[in-house]
Structure 1
Amino acid sequence: MSCDCNEFQNLTANLQLLNKSILDIVTKLDEQTSMLNRAVFKSATHCGCIEIHATKQLYSPSKTLEENQLDLDTHIEGTLCPKCRDKIEEEMGELLFYIASMCEALDLDFESIMAKKFDHLKTLGIYNLL
């Protein structure tokens, strides 16, 4: 099943009943971000399918940005089990729902925002993050 951004935003608008106020949307968006983070961390602390080994990221001034990027680490070891993958995907979907809801409330076009960001990333490449 495929879905485009406009279709997703329109469906979201039609389903918004209880949280139509921008205040409700912002608080739900914040809450959903926390739920997504919790699902990621539970994959490590409760399930154990992944491990998080955070260390300082080392950058070498003698290397190019591209070379340094290859040396960076996600700090994640292992792979998500099907149950944790499903939960994280579910939480990401909910987060997208509230992002689309915010777009609708502010009369913004979700697809246009993604297209602009895509073009920006494509144009600036690695220099986007500087």
Structure 2
Amino acid sequence: MSAPSLQSFQEQVSELLLRHRSLLDVMSKNGQSSSSVNRAVTKSITECGCIQLYAKKQKFGSNLQQAKENSTNHVHGQLCEHCREAISSELGRNLFYISALCSQLGINLDDVLQKESEKCSTLGLFNLS
């Protein structure tokens, strides 16, 4: 079975929106689901401990290659299966509400992805958003 396209996913989400049909409801649920993603990642650090966070100032160096070699995501370890599943579930819910927000505003999610990809390709490292 092939993965659904963003367009088919967006159509599916639109069909499922019943309780949260209002744009304000969708916006608040999107914010809430984003917070839930952050909470799931935090719990993998503070409760499970499968990953650890060691944050310090990034040392970028004087050229692009040095910057790539010296920068880090500050994460040590690997997500356990339970935490990976919990975070994936929260990310899925977040994607649901992003898709719903696009539908409510008449924006095609495929177009958003395409434009962002083109922007990344064009601007490269200057796309610091």
Q: Tell me if TM exceeds 0.5.
A: yes
Instruction: Point out where structure 1 has 5 or more consecutive residues left out of the alignment.
Output: none
TM-score for both structures, normalised by structure 2? 0.95
Aligned residue in 1 for 2:107: 108
Overall identity of the aligned pairs, in %: 35
The Cα shift of 1:44 comes to: 0.6
Structure 2 CA distance, aligned partners of 1:98 and 1:53? 31
Deviation of 1:57 (Å): 1.1
Distance in 1 (alpha carbons) for counterparts of 2:69 and 2:89: 30
What does 1:77-116 correspond to in 2, within 5 Å? 77-116=76-115
- State the AA in 1 paired with 2:94: L
Give, in whole Å, the separation in 2 of the partners of 1:65 and 1:83: 37
RMSD: 1.2
1:12 aligns with 2:13: yes
Instruction: Give the match for residue 31 of structure 1.
Output: 32
Query: Where do 5+ consecutive residues of structure 2 fail to align?
Result: none
Aligned to 2:124: 125
Letter in 2 for 1:37: N
What is the alpha-carbon distance in structure 1 between the residues aligned to residue 34 and residue 24 of structure 2?
16
Q: TM-score, normalised by structure 1?
A: 0.94
Q: How many positions carry a matched residue from both structures?
A: 128
Stretches (4+) displaced over 2 A: none
Q: Which has the higher contact order (CA 8 A, sep 6+)?
A: 1
Amino acid at match of 2:96: F
